[in-house]
Structure 1
Amino acid sequence: MTMTVRDFRAADAEAVAAARRSAFPYLVTTPRTVVWAVESAPVERHYRLLVAEADGRVVGTSEVGVFHDGEEPGLAFANTTVCAEARGLGAGSALVTAAEGYLAGLGAAKVFAWTLDEPYAVTFAERRGYRRGRSSRIQRLDLTATALPPLEADGLPDGVDLRTAADFADDPRPLYEADAECTADEPGDVTTTPLPYAEWLASTWEHPALDRELTSVAVVDGVVASYSVAHTDGRGRYWSGMTGTLRAYRGRGLAKLTKNDSLHRARSAGCREAYTGNDGDNGPMLAVNKWFGYEPAVNEWRYFRDLSA
């Protein structure tokens, strides 16, 4: 068997998407999102999509780059995926070795990698010198069998108006400003600075999986106060891209309001499965998702390694 690692080509999109769906069925992944991630990445991210090819067949990938928006310099990422039937053949090692070499050449000091909480994945990471960091809990909601909380039968609270992201097509800046504040409060390993508006438009607003009609927004007295982002893949899968509420409006149930509206819209649009991921320390959103009836699907760990060592 001949194993090679090379850069992604557009012709690989179908195979890469299939490999990711095989390893991470809860993510919204399509050939279009794979190509878009490569073509739209800011130059400062130094993004590369490495592909492991065995006898002419794509068996694994690694997304590699630096956190160009991080407050601490020298932080990078390398998230590696190998098809289940190809594990143990050396694809993962070849990909990680190539990824680390590339990042070291960029001067990166520390690399982060998401790892499934499965024995094979944990063992692989720890044998390569990676240490365990934060956890992420992936949860699933069966939209065909779970009764969603009813919509507000008596109307919305005074001053609250429910809209969709599509209503902001002419001027999405209010969504950008809300997202900048809410994202800053998200727990995580890497503290980031707010994206410039133009970059937010390219990375968030123009994301090919973003479903603006299913993304719900609560406007309070004319201000975007809360929102729930919907990503869909056209295959019945829905992923919560982000649910956030501005600090001044928290504690009013607006996160539940917007997410409930979005989930109802998703079910009506034919989505069958809803997935969401929360940092293990994000108690408020874990409680919200439990209230909706989400059930645990899988856990992930954020591993890291000091490249300088």
Structure 2
Amino acid sequence: MTTVPSFTLRAPRYPEDAEALATVLTAASPDWPTTAENLLRWQATRNPELFHTEVLAERDGQILGAGAIGHDDFSFEEWRYWGNLGVHPDYRHQGVGTALFDELLRRVKERGAREVRTMVSGSDRDAPGRAFLDHRGFRVAWERFESELHTASLDLGTFDPLMARVADAGVQLVPLSEVLGWPEGRRWLHELDWQLFQDVPMGTVLTKRSLDQWVKDELEDPALQPELSFVAVRPGQQDPLTGPLVGYSTLGLNPGGFYYIGMTGVLRAERGQGVAKALKIAAMRALDARGGGLIKTFNDAPNVAMLTMNEALGFQRTNTRYRYELHLDGA
């Protein structure tokens, strides 16, 4: 019989553990790598009013895995929590994931947790993770499709008529970097984002973040590429909440070298004119001018309109991400 060396659980120490944690979490989830800088920034900007706790497993100074759980700031309920954990592939099947999970679940149960959510990829690599959740009573509650394209695969000139129609309709596509310099730009974007998300079918009731927290989370995220993100503006319109802004689309850059679409949306009154598609084309053209790159996008299964648009643009579906939910006793 082989004896597996023991390990200990402890709280992470920042900034000392950041580099090693990023290495472990990236090895555990190589499709979405992270960095020490990302982890430290999140620690510095997360909402301190919401519960959050972390734990890592360590053996002889080596971090084997880590997990975190806290209030779901995107869909807040006092009894709902969102958790993630990852174990380095070299240290799996040694009880590390079970120990991390049990400790995190114990902490939120003490707080009266009724529901725990997480997201797992449908890739073959993540089959053990899905089995881990199934064994512990989690069930799939939602699907999100992942698609991708490379700008080199497109003839962006074929979209000239669309871009002309949008311009003729009086809508200007302005780089986000420019809008951020407007005195009311951040406030308008905050309100626009909130209104747009109301129409995204995500299978959950959303929570509106404060302007300050939203700016920290979204606009000050180093991954955001303001010069590759675009805002649809109707000059002369002055809505009390959104000003002249009628839509926007963002691109972020992952440490893995690929880009991802963070949000694309257009106000209801402006739909049906091709503005959303034009926003994405503007971003693709800006990225192509920079040298091009791979773009990933993530859309919830009921969002048929956006899925159809992305397919028309040339996005190819590559994966499905599953939101798992665990409903605890009394939930």
TM-score (norm 1): 0.90
Go from structure 1 to structure 2 and tell me whether the alpha carbon gap of 1:103 and 1:211 turns closer, same or farther (over 3 Å shift).
same
Offset at residue 26 of structure 1 (A) = 4.2
Q: Give yes or no for contact 1:163–1:217 (8 Å, CA) kept in 2.
A: yes
What amino acid is aligned across from residue 106 of structure 2 in structure 1? Answer: G
What residue ranges of structure 1 are gaps of 5+ in the alignment? none
Look up the SS of the partner of 1:166 in the other structure.
helix
Q: Give yes or no for contact 1:148–1:260 (8 Å, CA) kept in 2.
A: no
| Correspondence for 1:91 among 76, 96, 102 | 96
Partners of 1:20 and 1:152 in 2: CA distance: 42
Q: Give yes or no for contact 2:33–2:255 (8 Å, CA) kept in 1.
A: no
Q: Give yes or no for contact 1:64–1:79 (8 Å, CA) kept in 2.
A: yes
The answer to whether residue 21 in structure 2 is matched with residue 16 in structure 1 is: yes
Deviation per residue, 1:200-221 (Å, 9 max, x gap): 1121121221111111111123
Partners of 1:95 and 1:201 in 2: CA distance: 32
What residue ranges of structure 2 are gaps of 5+ in the alignment? 238-243
The answer to whether residue 314 in structure 2 is matched with residue 293 in structure 1 is: yes
The answer to whether residue 328 in structure 2 is matched with residue 307 in structure 1 is: yes
Paired residue for 1:38? 43
Offset at residue 178 of structure 1 (A) = 0.9
Displacement over 6 Å in runs of 4+: none
The answer to whether residue 11 in structure 2 is matched with residue 7 in structure 1 is: yes
| Correspondence for 2:177 among 166, 172, 183 | 166
Paired residue for 1:190? 204
Offset at residue 295 of structure 1 (A) = 1.7
Go from structure 1 to structure 2 and tell me whether the alpha carbon gap of 1:194 and 1:273 turns closer, same or farther (over 3 Å shift).
same
Paired residue for 1:238? 259
TM-score (norm 2): 0.84
The answer to whether residue 275 in structure 2 is matched with residue 254 in structure 1 is: yes
The answer to whether residue 215 in structure 2 is matched with residue 201 in structure 1 is: yes
Look up the SS of the partner of 1:18 in the other structure.
helix
Paired residue for 1:175? 189
The answer to whether residue 147 in structure 2 is matched with residue 127 in structure 1 is: no
Paired residue for 2:145? 137
Q: Give yes or no for contact 2:176–2:227 (8 Å, CA) kept in 1.
A: yes
Offset at residue 23 of structure 1 (A) = 4.1
Look up the SS of the partner of 1:11 in the other structure.
coil
Paired residue for 1:149? 156
Paired residue for 1:274? 295
Q: Give yes or no for contact 1:236–1:270 (8 Å, CA) kept in 2.
A: no
Q: RMSD in angstroms over aligned alpha carbons? A: 2.3
Look up the SS of the partner of 2:23 in the other structure.
helix
Offset at residue 256 of structure 1 (A) = 0.9
Offset at residue 54 of structure 1 (A) = 4.1
Partners of 2:17 and 2:203 in 1: CA distance: 31
Partners of 2:67 and 2:112 in 1: CA distance: 19
Go from structure 1 to structure 2 and tell me whether the alpha carbon gap of 1:306 and 1:123 turns closer, same or farther (over 3 Å shift).
same
Q: Give yes or no for contact 2:85–2:100 (8 Å, CA) kept in 1.
A: yes
Q: Give yes or no for contact 2:234–2:245 (8 Å, CA) kept in 1.
A: yes
Q: Larger radius of gyration, structure 1 or 2?
A: 2
Q: Give yes or no for contact 1:136–1:278 (8 Å, CA) kept in 2.
A: yes
Partners of 1:292 and 1:18 in 2: CA distance: 35
Deviation per residue, 1:121-160 (Å, 9 max, x gap): 22110101111110111122223x4115335367423311
Offset at residue 41 of structure 1 (A) = 0.9
Offset at residue 2 of structure 1 (A) = 3.4
Matched residues, number? 308
Offset at residue 232 of structure 1 (A) = 1.0
Partners of 1:271 and 1:59 in 2: CA distance: 37
